[in-house]
Chain A
């Protein structure tokens, strides 16, 4: 198994663990943080597939923007539960140890290697596939229709969210 294989297994396992953690955590903040971990690992997987642009977008949009919003919301809703939150955060010690251990293994592995890591030379075309330029061109030519029609889906999401979430919703005056 080469490095990308090992990384794939590692990231894949991380995704699974993080997903299970998201579902199992009692505390919403822990859940959300697991989800962040999940998104990061997914970004890593994209990188492995030489989809650099998607990987970056994944991290920036999901792990960055969306999850921050998520966490804000959760924390705003759970203000009276701060103590419970703090208690749960003691778990971080365990994670620190775990992550430290992983790092140690990685270091030992690299030190132990006699030959330099063989980085697979990918063809230029595959690298280009992951570039923003290429993706942009695809989206605005071949995938123009899905790209545009998704906007309706987003509109739907906005309208739906308003219907379900707006407070003090009054029915509109009857004509």
Chain B
């Protein structure tokens, strides 16, 4: 049994690194330097998670649960953070809000995400969620002179606080019903006794809190306004890292109660219905969006729906599919948001029609964006397809074929609005002057696009890792879950 500090090294390192960043910014006050150190930090923490991948166990009086799942999730968070920070600089410069604090806040947000995924106790769950969310509220309101950014921050904060309240209330009811805060002890308490009504209400509120964070229908209304008003890189961060974190925590919670939930037809029905509604509403609303940020916001709602299909399936395959999905989604969605940010900050181009003829001037950028769009639509051989395949396969396996069928039809609808962007980029002639963008960023996007393709063609090793990562989450060990 490795000791507590070794086990939770990535989290401790991340926490320590965030203090270092604060000191650095306070002493030198150089945003560019803080940015480099934030990126170094993400690389370091991600690297520690890779090295420590085989380590597993409970740490700090059963407060943290560390295993392959958590390490994998950490890597996704760090990847998301790294990419977002990498593509933020130009945007923030152009918007004249290039503060070093931005990187500190983003970094601490990742610490919160890591806590969320590693929570073995409701206290950590709540602290992690708050740490992540408060950081995101700040990021949303970064552009203080912009009314829409203020509105985004205010809206996100109020609704987020409300969701946190629901979650906290849920935790208190579960505590009241079982007298425990540690997830695995709650699970034991329910198995020995039985799940009371009080527990179910608390559990429902807890899940509602998560559904809000992943912007599932009907808790999604904040998403388009917040994404639209926030700085675009921050929106990319919310839609990838934060969503991955909320899903990780959701998976941790539901795997804890797997025996209870697998025997509950109500649970399956409720989650399936929410998944269905999320897919349908997200995709149909996205059809009507002209503004690309709002389109991507609704698309992010829809993707939450696909991932929820994996939760509804309630099998290790489903969860493993979600993990793979979040990885691919992080890459392709940050790619898409990144291209939007690049063109938005320089030329203030935000509508799909503004992208007309991009292919003529910036073939590599247009090509990368096409890969992101097609991957989001779930066309093989791109990574997005494998993610969808895994969650839908899990749904079919769990006798939820109707849900999978609805899911694929919804994703066929989604192809229309993703293709619209490709249509304008490739099939329309440019209007006005050439769209300019630095060549280096085109190359960066091309690299992300290549990664998305590779994940689609050679997903085997990653899928093995996600499958193995869930083993620990599944085993009802004496100390665990």
A–B in direct contact per CB < 8 Å: yes
* Chain B positions within 8 Å of A81 at CB level: none
Interface size on A, residues (CB 8 A): 24
Stretch from A60-68, A71-79, A145-153 that touches the partner? A145-153
* Chain A positions within 8 Å of B298 at CB level: none
Minimum C-beta distance from B109 to chain A (A)? 8
Query: Does A160 count as interface, using CB distance less than 8 angstroms?
Result: yes
Contact of A152 among B18, B96, B123, B124 (CB under 8 A): B18
**Contact between A145 and B124, CB atoms less than 8 A apart:** yes
**Contact between A160 and B105, CB atoms less than 8 A apart:** yes
* Chain A positions within 8 Å of B102 at CB level: 163
Minimum C-beta distance from B287 to chain A (A)? 35
Query: Does A164 count as interface, using CB distance less than 8 angstroms?
Result: yes
**Contact between B138 and A160, CB atoms less than 8 A apart:** yes
- Complex-state Cα separation, A175 to B89, whole angstroms: 12
**Contact between A149 and B15, CB atoms less than 8 A apart:** yes
For A138, the closest partner residue in chain B by CB is B61
Query: Does A142 count as interface, using CB distance less than 8 angstroms?
Result: yes
Query: Does B115 count as interface, using CB distance less than 8 angstroms?
Result: yes
Residues A175 and B61 in contact in the complex (CB < 8 Å), given A146-B124, A150-B127: no
Query: Does B471 count as interface, using CB distance less than 8 angstroms?
Result: no
* Chain A positions within 8 Å of B138 at CB level: 156, 159-160, 163-164
Query: Does B390 count as interface, using CB distance less than 8 angstroms?
Result: no
Query: Does B108 count as interface, using CB distance less than 8 angstroms?
Result: yes
- Complex-state Cα separation, A173 to B15, whole angstroms: 27
**Contact between B134 and A157, CB atoms less than 8 A apart:** yes
In the complex, chain A residues 69-116 whose Cβ is within 8 Å of any chain B Cβ:
none
Query: Does A141 count as interface, using CB distance less than 8 angstroms?
Result: yes
Known: A144-B61, A171-B96. 13 other contacts (CB 8 A): A142-B61, A143-B61, A144-B60, A149-B15, A150-B127, A152-B18, A156-B105, A157-B134, A159-B105, A163-B138, A171-B97, A171-B98, A172-B29
**Contact between A152 and B111, CB atoms less than 8 A apart:** yes
For A156, the closest partner residue in chain B by CB is B108
**Contact between A172 and B31, CB atoms less than 8 A apart:** yes
**Contact between B97 and A160, CB atoms less than 8 A apart:** no
For A162, the closest partner residue in chain B by CB is B101
Query: Does B130 count as interface, using CB distance less than 8 angstroms?
Result: yes
- Complex-state Cα separation, A150 to B130, whole angstroms: 10
* Chain A positions within 8 Å of B135 at CB level: 156, 160
Minimum C-beta distance from B187 to chain A (A)? 19
Query: Does B104 count as interface, using CB distance less than 8 angstroms?
Result: yes
**Contact between A169 and B127, CB atoms less than 8 A apart:** no
Q: Enumerate chain B interface residues (CB-CB to A < 8 A).
A: 15, 18-19, 22, 29-33, 59-61, 63-64, 93, 96-102, 104-105, 108, 111-112, 115, 121, 123-124, 127, 130-131, 134-135, 137-138, 141-142, 144, 153
**Contact between A163 and B61, CB atoms less than 8 A apart:** no
**Contact between B101 and A159, CB atoms less than 8 A apart:** yes
Query: Of residues A142, A143, A149, which shows the largest number of chain B Cβ atoms within 10 Å of its Cβ?
Result: A149
Query: Does A155 count as interface, using CB distance less than 8 angstroms?
Result: yes
**Contact between B101 and A163, CB atoms less than 8 A apart:** yes
- Complex-state Cα separation, A160 to B115, whole angstroms: 19
- Complex-state Cα separation, A146 to B64, whole angstroms: 10
**Contact between B19 and A172, CB atoms less than 8 A apart:** no
Query: Does A26 count as interface, using CB distance less than 8 angstroms?
Result: no
**Contact between B61 and A155, CB atoms less than 8 A apart:** no
**Contact between B15 and A175, CB atoms less than 8 A apart:** no
Minimum C-beta distance from A94 to chain B (A)? 30
Query: Does A174 count as interface, using CB distance less than 8 angstroms?
Result: yes
- Complex-state Cα separation, A169 to B131, whole angstroms: 24
Contact of A163 among B32, B60, B96, B105 (CB under 8 A): B105
Minimum C-beta distance from B5 to chain A (A)? 11
For B15, the closest partner residue in chain A by CB is A152
For B102, the closest partner residue in chain A by CB is A163
**Contact between B131 and A153, CB atoms less than 8 A apart:** yes
For B64, the closest partner residue in chain A by CB is A145
* Chain A positions within 8 Å of B96 at CB level: 171
Q: List 7 A-B contacts (CB under 8 A).
A: A146-B63, A160-B138, A163-B102, A164-B144, A164-B153, A171-B93, A174-B31
* Chain A positions within 8 Å of B104 at CB level: 159
Query: Of residues A141, A144, A160, which shows the largest number of chain B Cβ atoms within 10 Å of its Cβ?
Result: A160
Minimum C-beta distance from B70 to chain A (A)? 14
- Complex-state Cα separation, A160 to B111, whole angstroms: 15
* Chain B positions within 8 Å of A172 at CB level: 29-32, 98-100
**Contact between B105 and A175, CB atoms less than 8 A apart:** no
* Chain B positions within 8 Å of A169 at CB level: 99, 144
Minimum C-beta distance from B38 to chain A (A)? 13
**Contact between B18 and A155, CB atoms less than 8 A apart:** yes
**Contact between A175 and B64, CB atoms less than 8 A apart:** no
Residues A141 and B30 in contact in the complex (CB < 8 Å), given A157-B134, A163-B99, A171-B98: no
- Complex-state Cα separation, A166 to B100, whole angstroms: 14
Minimum C-beta distance from A48 to chain B (A)? 15
- Complex-state Cα separation, A142 to B33, whole angstroms: 38
**Contact between A155 and B22, CB atoms less than 8 A apart:** yes
- Complex-state Cα separation, A152 to B13, whole angstroms: 12
Minimum C-beta distance from B192 to chain A (A)? 22
For B11, the closest partner residue in chain A by CB is A149
For B21, the closest partner residue in chain A by CB is A159
Nearest 6 CB-CB pairs, A to B? A145-B60, A160-B138, A175-B32, A142-B61, A156-B108, A145-B63
* Chain A positions within 8 Å of B111 at CB level: 152
**Contact between B31 and A171, CB atoms less than 8 A apart:** yes
**Contact between B101 and A175, CB atoms less than 8 A apart:** no
Minimum C-beta distance from A171 to chain B (A)? 5
Query: Of residues A141, A159, A160, A169, which shows the largest number of chain B Cβ atoms within 10 Å of its Cβ?
Result: A159
